[in-house]
Amino acid sequence: MDWSTMSEWHSTLTPHALARQLPAPDGRRPAYRTLAAQVSRLVADGRLPVGTRLPAERELAAELNLSRTTVAAAYEALRADGFLHSRRGAGSWTALPAGTAPPADALHPVSPDQDTVLDLGLAAPTAPGQLAEAAAHALDRLPAYTGGHGNYPTGLPVLREAVARRYTERGLPTGPEQVLVTTGAMSALHLAHQALLGRGDRVAVEAPSYANTLRALDRAGARLVPVPFAPDAAGRTGWDLAQWQRVLRGAAPRLASVIPDFQNPTGALVDEEQRRALLAHARAAGTTVIADETCAELGWDVPESALPRPLAALDRDAQVITVGSAGKILWPGLRIGWLRAQPSLVRKLAQDRALYDLGTPVLEQLIAARLLTDHLPAVRAERHAQLRATAEAFARELPRHFPGWRYTPPPGGLALWAATPGLPASALARAGERVGVRIASGSRFGTDGAFEEHLRLPLTLPAARVPEALRRIAAAADLARTERLSGEDPTPAAL
């Protein structure tokens, strides 16, 4: 991704909206320095998306009860530090300093035989205990398929039926003809992007969002328009619907990419009221919504009866395309994903995939069908217990090692999204490679390098290993600080 390039469309922030996000001045610095530091922190944290047009100096000065000279000096300091770009007649919009970029790739897994490295770069579960029985059952059924070519462009009927039945159980009536089985969820997303996007089309994305989806959209030539999350009245993370409305109305994106169920990386669960509101805004803008539901079965702190219905269940205009996966609830090694859409689109995408992928392996589909049909409740219970135990371990241990770190406890999902004030996660990740811990820095989950002071902690780590993981991260933090003080680390943010 070109981390220095911003979208041509800029969301405009009103003076009142910016003022609401600014904390009270601490009085320890000149007013212009305080304002500049507050705005730069909002940008670095991803709460103020890169490319947001800031209010005019006079308007913001009136809103904050400051002199225009103070606001002008703050804007000048932001420009000098690389957090603001300005052009005469076009205004000023947020940016990130040159050189702000993610570290060496931490999202590729460490080989299992490298037991000296603790891999926190991936949030991926191990195989469930029911896998062996499902594999044996699949092998028994395999001879019925070996007499033919084995290519099923839309997927095996038995698996399409299992997926459709699960959607129906969750409140979204679905027939097998609406399901396309793919080789992993990313394959489903790739097919949808290719069919629906042209180069240069705008796509509204959550900020932060799943790193591989952001990369895939970038490779497809999309111009990403980030929309940050915002806490609700109860402090829970949710969609900022006012900002979504501004983006959908102002940018008119071709697609909106969202993860409403236990979002990766934040773990946020969006309630049904917000889902309806977003769909209404998208409908008015003519925007197609791709709902990534790969984590929908991972509500380890929410009773299934309390879960909101899938986004597509609230859709009356067939504007929602849903992507799911066996990778998060069953096992990534199966490489089974799917897409739910109108039958006409399913047929078109099945034709499109023939250009590079004639179908998903039969044996893996049979295994997934068995697990979904006969073992899902037991697998869910096993998975939820492990994720809950690790979340509780992090809740106990994090304050001991990093009392200044912050995170909102999620109701489900595979990860914790932690803010690391004063500690750039890219520097932490580089140091971690040398002390035996692989870290996924926050900038991977944002556009233009945002969320530099965040990292994702995987709940797929066994609870017993949480103390060791935090000790290694603490060692990496010490090394990063040492390198920063010695001038060896190029990270622009202060440690």
Q: What is 131-376's CATH number?
A: 3.40.640.10
Q: What per-residue confidence (pLDDT) applies to 115? A: 62
- The answer to whether the CB of 247 falls within 8 A of the CB of 253 is yes
d(CA 229, CA 304) in angstroms, rounded, equals: 24
d(CA 122, CA 108) in angstroms, rounded, equals: 7
d(CA 341, CA 180) in angstroms, rounded, equals: 8
Tokens describing residue 88: 């005469």
- Residues in contact with 120: Cβ distance below 8 Å, sequence separation at least 6, in sequence order: 437, 438, 439, 440, 457, 458, 461, 469, 473
Tokens describing residue 207: 């900020």
Residue 411, phi-psi category: left (phi > 0), alpha (psi -120 to 50), beta (remainder):
alpha
d(CA 16, CA 263) in angstroms, rounded, equals: 29
Please give the order of strands across the beta sheet that includes 223-231.
179-182, 337-340, 320-325, 288-292, 255-258, 202-207, 223-231, 237-239
pLDDT tens across 298-314, in order?
A: 999 999 999 999 999 99
**15-94 topology per CATH:** Arc Repressor Mutant, subunit A (1.10.10)
- The answer to whether the CB of 145 falls within 8 A of the CB of 365 is no
DSSP letter (8 states) at residue 406: B
């949480």: which residue's tokens? 466
Domain with CATH 1.10.10.10 in the chain: 15-94
Q: What per-residue confidence (pLDDT) applies to 101? A: 45
118-124+414-486 belongs to CATH 3.90.1150.10: yes
Q: What per-residue confidence (pLDDT) applies to 1? A: 38
d(CA 174, CA 305) in angstroms, rounded, equals: 19
Coil, helix or strand for 361?
A: coil
Q: What per-residue confidence (pLDDT) applies to 7? A: 46
d(CA 212, CA 108) in angstroms, rounded, equals: 11
Tokens describing residue 187: 């394959």
d(CA 164, CA 170) in angstroms, rounded, equals: 10
Strands of 69-127, DSSP E: 84-87, 91-94, 118-120
DSSP result, 21-37: HSPPP-SSS-HHHHHHH
d(CA 358, CA 279) in angstroms, rounded, equals: 34
d(CA 178, CA 199) in angstroms, rounded, equals: 27
DSSP result, 287-326: -EEEEE-TTTT--TTS-GGGSPPPGGGG-SSS-EEEEEES
Q: What per-residue confidence (pLDDT) applies to 10? A: 62
For 432, other C-beta atoms within 10 Å of its C-beta total 28
Helices (H), ranges, 316-401: 343-353, 362-370, 376-401
| Pairs from 146-154 (Cβ < 8 Å, separation ≥ 24) | 150/359, 150/362, 151/358, 151/359, 152/181, 152/359, 152/360, 152/362, 152/365, 153/350, 153/351, 153/353, 153/354, 153/358, 153/359, 154/179, 154/180, 154/181, 154/346, 154/347, 154/350
Q: Measuring CA to CA, how many Å separate 337 from each of 277, 282, 323, 326, 330? A: 28, 25, 8, 6, 11
- The answer to whether the CB of 102 falls within 8 A of the CB of 443 is yes
- The answer to whether the CB of 340 falls within 8 A of the CB of 178 is yes
| pTM value surpassing 0.85 | no
Closest to 227 in 3D by CA, of 210, 247, 212, 211? 247
Domain with CATH 3.90.1150.10 in the chain: 118-124+414-486
Measured in whole angstroms, how far is the alpha carbon of residue 390 from the centre of its chain? 20
The share of the chain scoring above pLDDT 70, in percent, equals 90
Q: What per-residue confidence (pLDDT) applies to 102? A: 42
Across the chain, which has 495 residues, the per-10-residue mean pLDDT values are 45 81 72 88 76 89 91 91 85 77 48 72 94 98 94 96 98 98 96 95 96 92 92 79 94 97 96 96 96 97 95 92 97 97 96 89 98 97 97 97 94 96 87 89 85 94 96 93 60 38
For 252, other C-beta atoms within 10 Å of its C-beta total 15
d(CA 217, CA 205) in angstroms, rounded, equals: 10
Length of the chain: 495
